[in-house]
Amino acid sequence: MNFSLYTIYNLLITAILFVLFLICLWNLYILRKKSYTKIPDSSLPFVSVLIPARNEEVNINKILPSVLEQEYPGYEVIVLNDNSDDRTGEIIEQIKKKYPQLKVINGKPLEEGWTGKCFACKQLYEESKGDYLLFTDADTVHRPNSLRDSVTIALNTNADMLTLFPKMTMISLAEKIIMPMFFFVVMLLLPLYFVEKKGFVNFSIGMGPFIMFKRKAYDKIGTHEAVKNAIVEDIWLARKIKKHGLKLTAADGMSMVSVRMYSSFKEIWEGLSKNMFAAFKFSSPMLLTVNVIFVLLFFFPFILLPLELSLQFTLSEEVILTLIQVLILYLVRFSLSYRFKLGFISSILHPLGAVSIAFIAFNSWRWIKFGGGSKWKGRVYKPDCSIAWRGGSQAGIILLNEKVF
């Protein structure tokens, strides 16, 4: 049987999507709800909850009460006001009046060679005394069981680093279209089976909203200082854990913590543009290659199917294969929407979400190459590719300036 090049192309895309669908099912099985041995209060370690906060006046009055009212016997909460120029500091002081146990730090001016978040986490660590350290973002909200349940998972799995898939809070249409793509990309492209296996450094994941370390493990990898110039520090911290032969665990945290990462299209555009190129080690060929493959796999089937149907009136091999591709993608999206409570509008509008990610990736590259650097929370970071981390994991970062945008 003779196949045209276009038929061979469609067969290849269909086969790849089917394999990715199987990976997704495998990952959903791994993230299924599990039962863990309950830990008595007397055996629970002391935990430091560490919160960096820069210009978080909208979020800080939600996260602080949520972590200060945990059903956990021994812990401390430390928040660092990272040179905010909004009402963050004022709100923190108001909350401290109600919760005097809250420890507040005013951040030092950002030192050269550091990204803002890493430098804030360094200062938080230096003030902490917990056997376990929980770094959590200021845009999260924790349920009362968050600390106990996460520590229980960490102890049962002997995790040196535990990171959780949070529940995603999405309100605006832009959030509902774009943010679920995070789950889509991770669940299709990252086999979680290898995440918890020692070695397999490239199969690492860290989710900034919730990262918990054994203190000894955190010290061993060099603390945040080891990734001090990283924009996507959560991924590089996870890789450091695995490079040191330590245990990384990723678990379902939807019943423990929720996060609203961005509240508008502008925030999504800037936030993801900050991270995207950095995640590809500032390699233009790597970003271009992955972006092209991403578009071919996850967006083009929705363009090709109506074109094929408009050019022929029979169910040819090409039409059938493209239809299968679309069905696989929708099956994945609806499965993830059901599992992670992402809302079905995001599934229906999958093509818009997919093409948005492609444009954001291009913008991330454009910002770094021609736009003067990544912009976030009033700071601009530009990679200095002449400064490389050992192992080539990340280019160095120069803080160009600090101002309000």
Provide the mean pLDDT of the chain: 90
User: 392 or 183: which carries more pLDDT confidence?
Assistant: 183
pTM for the full model? 0.88
**d(Cα 233, Cα 181) in Å, to the nearest integer?**
20
**d(Cα 137, Cα 167) in Å, to the nearest integer?**
14
Of 16-25, 86-95, 184-193, 227-236, the range with the lowest mean pLDDT is: 227-236
Question: Across residues 187-211, what is the average pLDDT?
Answer: 93
Q: Are 183 and 340 in contact (CB under 8 A)?
A: yes
**d(Cα 47, Cα 129) in Å, to the nearest integer?**
8
Q: What per-residue confidence (pLDDT) applies to 176?
A: 95
Q: What per-residue confidence (pLDDT) applies to 405?
A: 28
- The yes-or-no verdict on residue 76 having pLDDT over 90 is yes
Question: Across residues 52-67, what is the average pLDDT?
Answer: 96
Sign of CA dihedral 345, 15, 355, 233: positive
Q: Which two tokens stand for residue 174?
A: 């832009």
**d(Cα 86, Cα 191) in Å, to the nearest integer?**
41
Q: What is the pLDDT of residues 162-198, one digit of tens each?
A: 999 999 999 999 999 999 999 999 999 999 999 989 8
Q: What per-residue confidence (pLDDT) applies to 401?
A: 44
The amino acid that residue 355 corresponds to is V
Q: Which two tokens stand for residue 371?
A: 């736009």
Question: Across residues 66-74, what is the average pLDDT?
Answer: 97
Q: What is the CA radius of gyration of the chain?
A: 22
φ/ψ of 247, rounded to 5, equals -95, 125
Q: What is the dihedral of CA 348, 354, 359, 361, to 10 degrees?
A: 140
Q: What is the pLDDT of residues 220-262, one digit of tens each?
A: 999 999 999 888 899 999 999 999 999 999 999 999 999 999 9
Q: What per-residue confidence (pLDDT) applies to 148?
A: 97
Q: Are 122 and 222 in contact (CB under 8 A)?
A: no
φ/ψ of 336, rounded to 5, equals -70, -35
359 Cα distance to chain centroid: 19
User: 294 or 373: which carries more pLDDT confidence?
Assistant: 294
Q: Which two tokens stand for residue 300?
A: 């083009």
Q: Are 53 and 138 in contact (CB under 8 A)?
A: yes
Which 8-state DSSP code applies to residue 73? S
Q: Which of 18-32, 224-238, 366-380 has the highest mean pLDDT?
A: 18-32
Of 96-100, 139-143, 237-241, 305-309, the range with the lowest mean pLDDT is: 305-309
Of 27-36, 310-319, 380-389, the range with the lowest mean pLDDT is: 380-389
Spatial strand order in the sheet of 374-376: 374-376, 379-388, 395-402
Question: Across residues 262-273, what is the average pLDDT?
Answer: 90
pLDDT bucket at 390, cuts 50 / 70 / 90: very low
Sign of CA dihedral 121, 124, 128, 133: negative
- The yes-or-no verdict on residue 275 having pLDDT over 60 is yes
- The yes-or-no verdict on residue 398 having pLDDT over 50 is no
Number of C-beta neighbours around residue 110 at 10 A: 18
**Residue recorded with tokens 């079905």:** 344
**Residue recorded with tokens 């089976």:** 193
pLDDT bucket at 402, cuts 50 / 70 / 90: very low
Q: What per-residue confidence (pLDDT) applies to 377?
A: 65
| DSSP 3-state of 34 | coil
Q: Are 88 and 81 in contact (CB under 8 A)?
A: yes
Question: Across residues 153-162, what is the average pLDDT?
Answer: 97
